[in-house]
């Protein structure tokens, strides 16, 4: 599937209001405040006009405030808040969409004017406008994390060209160029650190506030802020493919992937609204045939109340806002959902399947034990081993080479690889074998029986046809691995399984240490896929798979919810997984489940609130027991309550 490329400068202009270049001299916050005040002006004007008109009506102190003067007064109060809605309704009708909330509001308020209920007509439209303003404020708050990403967008890059560092647009920097980043500046592009070390604030892209220390030759991501000293970076991606661009693209696009609840409500509103319009028409005219003292004005008033009450604003506004709030809250916690549908899906997960290496372990091998059975000192024994491993690119070789041995380095010659067994060669005139037990046995070397019970990866050494010793290599558990399993169980996940490509003995040991229900090692990616497919066939089983997002791509795609650990630098993770854990912490899985459940709970609270209140007031309105003021509460009041409820997601904590 071809990835959509994103230019951060082409995003929704609403996100950039009040944004200028660094040297334009404008006060950004003041401009935003002025813009916000102008947004509220129509509602403030209408409110003052309405309150003044009601006061004059109530006290009846101005005799002239009758007839056309009163009509003009309330019309002037109505226009600032009513005209935009009527215009929107008209545009919808021109596009073939008759039955919208704008159409309902327009008919109800113009009808109120037609029967002389001017204050009610203004009030309905005023409170609807206020509801829209609150909705926009809530959405802007929910978009705070996306705005933080936009703020993290680098504006310039100091690139080395023609013997000097020059400031250029990051979009013009090519892969392989050298850039310089000063203290307090943002990393403009993804790359490899050329300096010895760097201290970075990665909060904008990982959600982690604590500084991150990066060593030379390690990856570095765009959007991070350099905290200490001038550093240099060699770029390895174009600006449009940088981590910040991909994350922003994913968060922006997440709102397009609707949940089933959201899609149902939208479809429901399209059927529900025309039904309401025809019921209102029926409520106006049908009583003529059944009621003796039928008064057209009274039944029209009831129908108008019916229209206002039945407007689906609370549902149409608050449900997407609830999901958007959940997506934003997850992003703030270093978790990226690819869509609202996955916020729903993760709440149904009852089986978590996890990879081992890179998921609950760091994926970095380290020497656990050195057992020297030779006549040499340990440092000299390790020099023989290291001289041979310098010829290998295997991750285990890298771990061995981190050993600090005193004395001059030995040099290996005539090194050859024995497929599937190890290396043989000459070091300081001695014949050296480095590898597994099979290599030793095939060369007639007797191996101590104690090695048979060792679970960890083992590298054996023979010098001049004699067994010299061995080194055990182990991967380290992540700091929060134990906490992750505990929290996943506390979140109500009934079954935790580990599937790993590492040898089964190591997988079983890690599984036992973490108290995992069932584990299997020695699996190829296709074997993991088969296991997950079998699990999915079991009744009432919803599977989430968490892996490193690289070699586990097929399983991530096949599971009900695919979760990529540390997927920030992995294109495969971004493409395949449904959820990305940016901080590389398995304990975030439980947080993701809790956020999904909180979001779903709030969405259903809003649905229950909207339907419950509306049904009660609809019955009262049809019976003539509710006025337009109750209708306003049932519509706009419920919408506001639902919005405030959805905004709670922004303040919740998920430990």
- Given a contact cutoff of 8 angstroms between Cβ atoms, the answer to whether 155 and 21 are in contact is yes
Confidence of residue 6 (pLDDT cuts 50, 70, 90): very low
Q: What is the mean pLDDT of residues 438-459?
A: 88
Q: Is the pLDDT of residue 496 over 90?
A: yes
Query: What is the pLDDT, as a whole number, of residue 519?
Result: 94
Q: Is the pLDDT of residue 573 over 70?
A: no
Q: What is the mean pLDDT of residues 243-263?
A: 63
Q: 34-54: per-residue pLDDT in tens?
A: 556 678 899 999 999 999 998
Query: What is the pLDDT, as a whole number, of residue 1?
Result: 37
Q: What is the mean pLDDT of residues 369-398?
A: 87
Query: What is the pLDDT, as a whole number, of residue 566?
Result: 67
Q: What is the pTM of this model?
A: 0.68
Q: Is the pLDDT of residue 22 over 80?
A: no
Query: What is the pLDDT, as a whole number, of residue 470?
Result: 94
Q: Is the pLDDT of residue 197 over 80?
A: yes
- Given a contact cutoff of 8 angstroms between Cβ atoms, the answer to whether 592 and 348 are in contact is no
Regarding beta strands 197-201 and 225-226, do their DSSP bridges make them parallel or antiparallel, or are they unpaired?
antiparallel
Confidence of residue 258 (pLDDT cuts 50, 70, 90): low
Q: What is the mean pLDDT of residues 489-513?
A: 89
| CA 187/CA 231 separation, integer angstroms | 10
The long-range contacts involving 41-44, CB below 8 angstroms and separated by at least 24 positions, are 41/80, 42/80, 42/81, 42/84, 42/129, 43/80, 43/81, 43/126, 43/129, 43/130, 43/133
Confidence of residue 589 (pLDDT cuts 50, 70, 90): very high
Confidence of residue 17 (pLDDT cuts 50, 70, 90): very low
- Given a contact cutoff of 8 angstroms between Cβ atoms, the answer to whether 360 and 354 are in contact is yes
| CA 433/CA 216 separation, integer angstroms | 32
Q: Is the pLDDT of residue 29 over 50?
A: no
Q: 623-635: per-residue pLDDT in tens?
A: 778 777 777 777 7
Give the Cβ contact number of residue 549 at 10 Å: 29
- What mean pLDDT, rounded, does the chain reach? 81
Looking at 97-106, 280-289, 511-520, 537-546, which range is the least confident one?
A: 97-106
Closest CA to 385 of 282, 279, 458: 458
Give start and end residues of each alpha helix (H) in 197-290.
203-206, 243-254, 260-285
| CA 125/CA 131 separation, integer angstroms | 10
Any idea which residues carry the catalytic annotation? 355
Q: 129-163: per-residue pLDDT in tens?
A: 887 787 677 666 655 555 555 555 677 889 999 98
Q: Is the pLDDT of residue 434 over 90?
A: yes
Q: What is the mean pLDDT of residues 372-386?
A: 90
**Cβ neighbours for 40, distance < 8 A, ≥ 6 positions apart:** 133
Q: Is the pLDDT of residue 18 over 50?
A: no
∠ CA 350-352-355, nearest 5°, is 175
Rg (CA), the chain: 34
Q: Is the pLDDT of residue 346 over 60?
A: yes
Closest CA to 338 of 257, 428, 408: 257
Q: 509-564: per-residue pLDDT in tens?
A: 899 999 999 999 888 778 888 999 999 999 989 999 998 765 677 888 889 999 98
Query: What is the pLDDT, as a whole number, of residue 205?
Result: 61
Percent of residues, the chain, with pLDDT higher than 90: 29
Q: What is the DSSP letter of 516?
A: -
Q: Is the pLDDT of residue 168 over 70?
A: yes
Confidence of residue 337 (pLDDT cuts 50, 70, 90): confident
Closest CA to 138 of 643, 642, 603: 643
Looking at 161-175, 469-483, 561-575, which range is the least confident one?
A: 561-575
Confidence of residue 497 (pLDDT cuts 50, 70, 90): very high
When comparing pLDDT for 9 and 118, which is higher?
Answer: 118
When comparing pLDDT for 193 and 620, which is higher?
Answer: 193
What domains lie within the chain, and their CATH numbers? 157-251 (2.70.150.10), 335-361+478-592 (3.40.50.1000), 363-476 (3.40.1110.10)
| CA 540/CA 531 separation, integer angstroms | 16
């Amino acid at each position: 599937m071809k990835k959509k490329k994103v230019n951060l400068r082409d995003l929704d202009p609403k996100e950039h209001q009040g944004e200028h270049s660094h040297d334009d001299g404008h006060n950004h916050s003041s401009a935003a405040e002025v813009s916000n005040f102008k947004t509220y002006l129509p509602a403030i004007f209408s409110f003052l006009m309405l309150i003044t008109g009601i006061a004059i009506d109530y006290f009846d102190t101005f005799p002239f405030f009758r007839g056309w003067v009163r009509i003009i007064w309330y019309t002037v109060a109505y226009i600032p808040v009513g005209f935009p809605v009527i215009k929107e309704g008209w545009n919808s009708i021109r596009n073939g969409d008759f039955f919208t909330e704008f159409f309902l509001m327009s008919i109800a308020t113009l009808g109120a004017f037609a029967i002389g209920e001017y204050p009610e007509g203004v009030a309905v439209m005023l409170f609807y406008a206020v509801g829209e303003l609150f909705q926009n404020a809530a959405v802007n708050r929910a978009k705070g994390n996306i705005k933080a990403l936009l703020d993290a967008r680098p504006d310039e890059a100091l690139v080395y060209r023609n013997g000097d560092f020059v400031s250029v647009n990051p979009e013009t920097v090519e892969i392989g160029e050298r850039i310089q980043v000063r203290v307090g500046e943002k990393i403009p592009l993804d790359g490899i650190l050329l300096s010895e070390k760097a201290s970075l604030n990665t909060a904008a892209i990982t959600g982690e506030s604590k500084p991150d220390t990066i060593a030379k030759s390690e990856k570095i991501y765009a959007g991070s802020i350099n905290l200490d000293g001038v550093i240099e970076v060699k770029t390895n991606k174009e600006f449009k493919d940088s981590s910040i661009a991909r994350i922003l693209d994913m968060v922006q696009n997440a709102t397009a992937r609707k949940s089933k609840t959201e899609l149902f409500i939208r479809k429901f509103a399209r059927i529900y609204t025309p039904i309401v319009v025809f019921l209102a028409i029926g409520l106006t005219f049908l009583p003529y045939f059944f009621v003796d003292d039928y008064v057209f004005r009274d039944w029209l008033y009831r129908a108008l109340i019916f229209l206002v009450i039945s407007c689906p604003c609370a549902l149409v506004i608050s449900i997407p806002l609830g999901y958007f709030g959940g997506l934003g809250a997850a992003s703030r916690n270093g978790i990226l959902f690819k869509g609202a549908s996955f916020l729903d899906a993760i709440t149904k997960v009852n089986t978590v399947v996890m990879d081992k290496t890179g998921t609950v372990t760091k994926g970095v091998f380290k020497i656990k034990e050195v057992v020297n059975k030779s006549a040499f000192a340990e440092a000299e024994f390790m020099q023989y081993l290291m001289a041979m491993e310098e010829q290998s690119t295997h991750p285990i070789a890298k771990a061995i080479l981190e050993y600090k041995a005193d004395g001059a380095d030995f040099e290996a010659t005539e090194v050859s690889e024995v497929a599937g067994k190890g290396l043989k060669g000459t070091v300081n005139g001695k014949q050296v074998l480095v590898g597994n037990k099979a290599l030793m046995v095939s060369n007639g070397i007797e191996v101590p029986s104690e090695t048979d019970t060792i679970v960890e990866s083992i590298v054996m050494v023979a010098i001049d046809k004699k067994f010299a010793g061995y080194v055990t290599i182990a991967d380290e558990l992540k700091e929060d691995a134990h906490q992750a399993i505990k929290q996943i169980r506390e979140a109500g996940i009934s079954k935790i399984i580990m599937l790993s490509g590492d040898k089964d003995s190591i997988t079983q040991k890690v599984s036992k240490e973490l108290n995992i229900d069932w584990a299997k090692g020695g699996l190829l990616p296709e074997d993991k896929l088969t296991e997950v497919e079998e699990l999915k066939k079991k009744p009432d089983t919803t599977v989430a798979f968490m892996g490193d997002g690289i070699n586990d791509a097929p399983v991530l795609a096949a599971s009900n919810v695919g979760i990529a650990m540390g997927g920030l630098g992995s294109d495969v993770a971004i493409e395949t997984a449904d959820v990305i854990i940016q901080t590389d912490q398995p304990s975030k899985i439980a947080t993701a489940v809790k956020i999904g459940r909180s979001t779903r709970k709030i969405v259903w609270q809003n649905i229950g609130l909207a339907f419950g209140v509306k049904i009660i007031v609809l019955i009262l309105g049809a019976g003539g027991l509710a006025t337009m003021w109750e209708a306003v509460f049932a519509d706009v009041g419920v919408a506001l309550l639902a919005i405030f409820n959805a905004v709670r997601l922004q303040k919740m904590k998920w430990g």
